[in-house]
Chains A and B, each alone.
Chain A
Amino acid sequence: MTVDQVRTVPAAPSTRTRLTRVLLGRDAAITALLVAVVLVASLTVDNFSTATTWYFLFLDVFPILLIALPMTLLVIAAQIDLSVASMLGLSSVLVGALYENGWPLAVAALVALVVGAVGGALNGFLVTVVGLPSLAVTIGTLALFRGLAVGILGTRAVTGFPSGAQDLVSAHFAGTGIPVVMALFVVLALAFGVVLHATPTGRLVYAAGLNAEAARFAGGRVGRLTFWLFVASGVMSALAGVYWTLRYGSARGDNAVGLELSVVAAVLVGGVSIFGGRGALPGVVVGVLLIGALRSALRLADVSSDVINVVTGVLLIATVVGPGLVARARGAARRPGTRPSAGAPG
């Protein structure tokens, strides 16, 4: 392309150009990595390519998948919610405590979801109205929600949930290793995916993450958006808490301690920029599955859990830092100007 072509009025890129850009994009790369891991593991690790392995893999990553959906939107909007695992624990404890006191399980679960919304609203309020940074706010509510959870049940565990509900959670589609709950995830993922990638709200999520001030100048209600993203995060964490309770048949105050880091790690591996504004939902789903598959394969290969953690950490660093290094190695031009010290305006 020459200068003369640049002079002509810019058109929408051709379908072929757009397809090429997708194929060269990060989502394609991470999907290829997942396929590679699955192929290699299937060939080299005994029992990896069995329905049972996949069944447990899905059940294990299910809560991470659920919480990663709103987390993706939050991180793209340049926010973060670290209170998700504590909310999961609180939700689990509430289900247990209410059920123990004779409430119907469905009602107990509903209450847990409402509490999730309230907790999310608290985060949202502190961030958007009071104006505190979300990192600080959610580290605070991480401690708060966990404290409440442990306060309610102490170190006890509530067990003995109705077997019907537990069976439902662990049921799988006949003849496959795919748990029935994954259908719920697919529906939710489609909903979040459509909101992020094909609605005005989704456009605002990106705009707010890249430059909240310019988003406001363009008529975006950034505060309102952020508030509702935190509410969504609270509800999805609470839903994951209900699932956790039934899947393991145990409501405890310390359920899922530290899970927030797995979620954030998966979101980053999935190609979302921790600085906001960049990333896509399909990449994140693949990212969660990639980490899950890798860990599952290593476990089956009798690798010690320390080593598994190291490998996961390396994967995180490689996928987050890697693209930058590749770009630099290619000598790609630095984009001027978005961060304060970089480059110069035109």
Chain B
Amino acid sequence: MVVNRFTILKGEAMAESDDEPGPTSSHPGASADAAPATPAAPLGPAAPLGPAAPLGPSTRTPAPTLVVRGLVKHFGPVVALARAELEVRPGEIHALVGENGAGKSTLVKLLAGVYQPTAGQMLLDGAPLEPRTPADARDAGVAVIYQEPTLFPDLSVAENVFMGRLLTGRGGLVSRKAMRERTRELLATLGVEIDPDRPALGLSIADQQLVEIVKAVSLDAKLLVMDEPTAALSGVEVDRLFAVARQLRDRGAAVVFISHRFDEIFALSDRITVMRDGEHVSTQDTAATDTATIVRQMVGRAVDTMFPRTERTPGAVVLEVQGLTRAGTFEGVDLHVRAGEILGIAGLVGSGRSEVVRAVFGIDRYDSGTVRVDGRVLAQDGPEQAMRHGLALVPEDRRRQGLHTDLSVARNVALTLRRRLSRGGILTSGAEYRVAHEWAATLQVKARDLDAVAGTLSGGNQQKVVLAKWLSTTPRVLLIDEPTRGIDVGTKAEVHRLLDRLAGDGVAVVMISSELPEVLGMSDRVLVMHEGRVTAVLDRADADPETVMSAATGTVRSAVA
């Protein structure tokens, strides 16, 4: 029945604008559910829904797949959602935006059955949606893709796709063959090249996300929710994800897309809903608005999104890496960075960027090459040694490497400073609170208090805690991997200003970023990597998007400076 719905809706869903006529609800079943339960939609243009709608001539606006009304969620004293409203139509990609902590992920988790609402109503195709568990939500037709994929690493791609409802063959046994075939078909439909038999372990984050989408498609989900799916992806991978998302939309699914990247929001979405402090602010057609308007609604004021740049004269070389090689990961990497300079590293995910900085910081060993700090060789003796020489690394994977999600904000921030904060070997909570408070204030961390468990903070605020943890060590060399992943516009500008200020104070900054504008806007020099090698080193003046992208994809191998 749902498959039917997808196919029939195809024509209508292709319509990019509301003016284009198309059938509304295409099969009798849906209309019977939808019509009575969906009075005038609370948002957007009113949607007159006559009982005649489904079979008669089309109305302008199809009945919404998802309606969220007056949704409230409290966590103890914390009000995560105050009055959330959302309406998503079939065949629509709907962007959900808001500052860090605005309640976007909380809304998603309510839809997904992870949490139950304190008050309010959710309707899916007109019927109340009240999932008690993620399995309920899945059965109702809601598929959710989280920022960090939640695949089981030891199971095959096919088994992951059918997790929780394994296909059985004769005698009730799990039929690997059936699952494999079905997965292969689905992958082919979406034009994704992944072997259904391989284990999920070792798939890139981008591929893992695609597997999650395949899983969603295999469920014939009516509603697909993607919570910051692109935060860990770079350009090409984002394009592939978008192609798949558009395909789903064109089959008539309702897609909710959460992101802090405005270029993506405007490229992908049909409508945008803005949230602030757990409340609905506005819903508008993407075509009828612009970034400045959205930002103002999100933040409540205008934000200067220009990249800050104070003039500075780089000093002596602080960090110098020569011929760094780790078999199968990166090879012959040379780089240097001066005091007061920002070196941007661009490249696709998997190009070895993160691995290089990890090796420099002492997390992974390298086979050959040297790392020098102030001209002296830095022995391979782990992160503690690197920290003693003034290095800091803000890692790419927040939840696994950057943060202790079960520790308090104060303990997280003070963890890197635990020795420096102790007096006569004794470390007091007071000292931890002091430094945590100072940095939480600088970075505007939003949390109940410093004892709040870091895992309960919103994604962007967790990232701020990671930044605080490392900036508080007052490093001389700051290695920073995706500094603004998951951070909202306002804070992003804040972080950029902070990096600029650090460089101004003479810190040598090595910044990896998948966001090209960020790399180009912030860096004094740009180093590009492709498949473990440095393919270009460009001065600020020579670094334009085309040159960087062609070096990153390996289409051009410009001479290495």
Q: What residues of chain A have their CB less than 8 Å away from a CB belonging to chain B? A: 1-4, 6-7, 9-13, 17-18, 21, 194, 198-200, 202-204, 206-207, 210-211, 213-221, 277-278, 333-338, 340-341, 343-346
- Most-contacted residue by chain A among B363, B434, B441, B455 (CB, 10 A): B455
Q: Which residues of A contact B422 (CB under 8 A)?
A: 199-200
Q: Which residues of A contact B416 (CB under 8 A)?
A: 218-219
Q: Are B148 and A207 in contact (CB under 8 A)?
A: no
Given contacts A6-B448, A13-B451, contact A214 B148 (CB under 8 A): no
Give the distance in Å from the alpha carbon of A288 to the alpha carbon of B112 in the complex.
43
Q: Are B108 and A9 in contact (CB under 8 A)?
A: no
Q: Are A3 and B82 in contact (CB under 8 A)?
A: yes
Give the distance in Å from the alpha carbon of A199 to the alpha carbon of B75 in the complex.
32
5 A-B residue contacts at CB 8 Å?
Answer: A10-B452, A12-B433, A21-B451, A204-B418, A219-B382
Cβ of B96 within 8 Å of any chain A Cβ, yes or no, is no
Q: Which residues of A contact B452 (CB under 8 A)?
A: 10
Q: Are A344 and B227 in contact (CB under 8 A)?
A: yes
Residue of chain A at shortest CB distance from B460: A346
> Which of B399-407, B521-529, B541-549 faces chain A?
B399-407
Which residues from 376 to 403 on chain B have a C-beta closer than 8 Å to any C-beta of chain A? 382-384, 386-387, 393, 395, 398-403
Given contacts A214-B401, A219-B383, A335-B455, contact A345 B450 (CB under 8 A): no
Q: Are A207 and B407 in contact (CB under 8 A)?
A: yes
Cβ of B359 within 8 Å of any chain A Cβ, yes or no, is no
Say which residue of A6, A9, A218 sits within 8 Å of B78 (CB atoms): A6
Given contacts A7-B446, A10-B437, A221-B384, contact A214 B146 (CB under 8 A): no
Which residues from 104 to 120 on chain B have a C-beta closer than 8 Å to any C-beta of chain A? 105, 108-109, 112, 114-115
Residue of chain A at shortest CB distance from B105: A346
Say which residue of B146, B150, B415, B434 sits within 8 Å of A218 (CB atoms): B415
Q: Are A221 and B404 in contact (CB under 8 A)?
A: no
Say which residue of A11, A210, A336 sits within 8 Å of B109 (CB atoms): A336
Which residues from 171 to 229 on chain B have a C-beta closer than 8 Å to any C-beta of chain A? 227
Say which residue of A207, A333, A336 sits within 8 Å of B415 (CB atoms): A207
Q: Are A346 and B458 in contact (CB under 8 A)?
A: yes
Q: Which residues of A contact B441 (CB under 8 A)?
A: 9
* Contact string against A for B residues 268-287, beta-carbon threshold 8 Å, 1 for contact and 0 otherwise: 00000000011000000000
Q: Are A217 and B395 in contact (CB under 8 A)?
A: yes
Q: Are B108 and A344 in contact (CB under 8 A)?
A: yes
Q: Which residues of A contact B386 (CB under 8 A)?
A: 219
Give the distance in Å from the alpha carbon of A214 to the alpha carbon of B394 in the complex.
11
Q: Which residues of B contact A217 (CB under 8 A)?
A: 363, 383, 393, 395, 401-402
Q: Which residues of A contact B409 (CB under 8 A)?
A: 10
Provide the main secondary structure of the chain A interface: loop
Q: Are B400 and A213 in contact (CB under 8 A)?
A: yes
Q: Which residues of A contact B144 (CB under 8 A)?
A: 344
CB distance from A10 to the nearest CB of B (A): 4
Q: Which residues of B contact A9 (CB under 8 A)?
A: 437, 440-441, 444-445
Cβ of B459 within 8 Å of any chain A Cβ, yes or no, is yes
Count A-B contacts at CB 8 Å: 176
Q: Are B399 and A6 in contact (CB under 8 A)?
A: no
Q: Are A12 and B410 in contact (CB under 8 A)?
A: yes
Say which residue of A216, A278, A337, A344 sits within 8 Å of B405 (CB atoms): A337
Residue of chain A at shortest CB distance from B279: A3
CB distance from B338 to the nearest CB of A (A): 25
Residue of chain B at shortest CB distance from A1: B77
CB distance from A323 to the nearest CB of B (A): 15
Q: Which residues of B contact A194 (CB under 8 A)?
A: 426
Give the distance in Å from the alpha carbon of A203 to the alpha carbon of B399 in the complex.
18
Q: Which residues of A contact B437 (CB under 8 A)?
A: 9-12
Q: Are A3 and B401 in contact (CB under 8 A)?
A: no
Q: Are B108 and A200 in contact (CB under 8 A)?
A: no
Cβ of B449 within 8 Å of any chain A Cβ, yes or no, is yes
Q: Which residues of A contact B150 (CB under 8 A)?
A: 340-341, 344
Give the distance in Å from the alpha carbon of A195 to the alpha carbon of B210 in the complex.
47
- Beyond known contacts A10-B447, A214-B403: 10 more, CB 8 A cutoff: A6-B447, A10-B449, A11-B433, A17-B449, A198-B427, A203-B418, A216-B363, A336-B109, A345-B399, A346-B458
Give the distance in Å from the alpha carbon of A213 to the alpha carbon of B358 in the complex.
12
Given contacts A3-B82, A3-B277, A206-B407, contact A214 B402 (CB under 8 A): yes
Q: Which residues of B contact A199 (CB under 8 A)?
A: 422, 425-427
Residue of chain B at shortest CB distance from A343: B114
Cβ of B462 within 8 Å of any chain A Cβ, yes or no, is yes
Give the distance in Å from the alpha carbon of A213 to the alpha carbon of B449 in the complex.
26
Q: How large is the interface on B (under 10, 10 to 19, 20 to 34, 35 or more residues)?
A: 35 or more
- Most-contacted residue by chain B among A207, A338, A346 (CB, 10 A): A346
Which residues from 448 to 471 on chain B have a C-beta closer than 8 Å to any C-beta of chain A? 448-453, 455-462, 469
Residue of chain B at shortest CB distance from A21: B451
Cβ of B52 within 8 Å of any chain A Cβ, yes or no, is no
Q: Are B415 and A338 in contact (CB under 8 A)?
A: no
Cβ of B486 within 8 Å of any chain A Cβ, yes or no, is yes
Q: Which residues of B contact A346 (CB under 8 A)?
A: 105, 147, 227, 457-462, 486
Q: Are B411 and A203 in contact (CB under 8 A)?
A: yes
Give the distance in Å from the alpha carbon of A288 to the alpha carbon of B144 in the complex.
46
Cβ of B428 within 8 Å of any chain A Cβ, yes or no, is yes
Please name the 9 residue pairs, one residue from A and one from B, whose CB atoms are nearest each other, closest first: A346-B459, A12-B433, A200-B418, A1-B77, A344-B146, A10-B447, A219-B384, A9-B441, A219-B387
Cβ of B79 within 8 Å of any chain A Cβ, yes or no, is yes
Say which residue of A198, A216, A340 sits within 8 Å of B426 (CB atoms): A198
Q: Which residues of A contact B428 (CB under 8 A)?
A: 198
Give the distance in Å from the alpha carbon of A204 to the alpha carbon of B422 in the complex.
13
Q: Which residues of A contact B101 (CB under 8 A)?
A: 6
Q: Which residues of B contact A213 (CB under 8 A)?
A: 400-401
Given contacts A3-B277, A10-B452, contact A334 B425 (CB under 8 A): no
Residue of chain B at shortest CB distance from A275: B406
Give the distance in Å from the alpha carbon of A18 to the alpha carbon of B408 in the complex.
13
Cβ of B419 within 8 Å of any chain A Cβ, yes or no, is yes
- Most-contacted residue by chain A among B383, B404, B452 (CB, 10 A): B404
Given contacts A1-B77, A9-B441, A21-B451, contact A211 B115 (CB under 8 A): no
Q: Which residues of A contact B401 (CB under 8 A)?
A: 213-214, 217
Give the distance in Å from the alpha carbon of A202 to the alpha carbon of B422 in the complex.
12
CB distance from A314 to the nearest CB of B (A): 28
Give the distance in Å from the alpha carbon of A203 to the alpha carbon of B414 in the complex.
9
Residue of chain A at shortest CB distance from B438: A9
Q: Which residues of B contact A278 (CB under 8 A)?
A: 406
Q: Are A11 and B450 in contact (CB under 8 A)?
A: yes
Which residues from 209 to 268 on chain B have a C-beta closer than 8 Å to any C-beta of chain A? 227
- Most-contacted residue by chain B among A13, A216, A217 (CB, 10 A): A217
Q: Are A337 and B399 in contact (CB under 8 A)?
A: yes
Q: Are A10 and B426 in contact (CB under 8 A)?
A: no
Residue of chain B at shortest CB distance from A14: B449
Give the distance in Å from the alpha carbon of A211 to the alpha carbon of B466 in the complex.
15
Residue of chain B at shortest CB distance from A12: B433
Q: Are B363 and A200 in contact (CB under 8 A)?
A: no
Residue of chain A at shortest CB distance from B456: A335
Give the distance in Å from the alpha carbon of A217 to the alpha carbon of B402 in the complex.
7
Give the distance in Å from the alpha carbon of A200 to the alpha carbon of B421 in the complex.
9
Residue of chain A at shortest CB distance from B442: A9
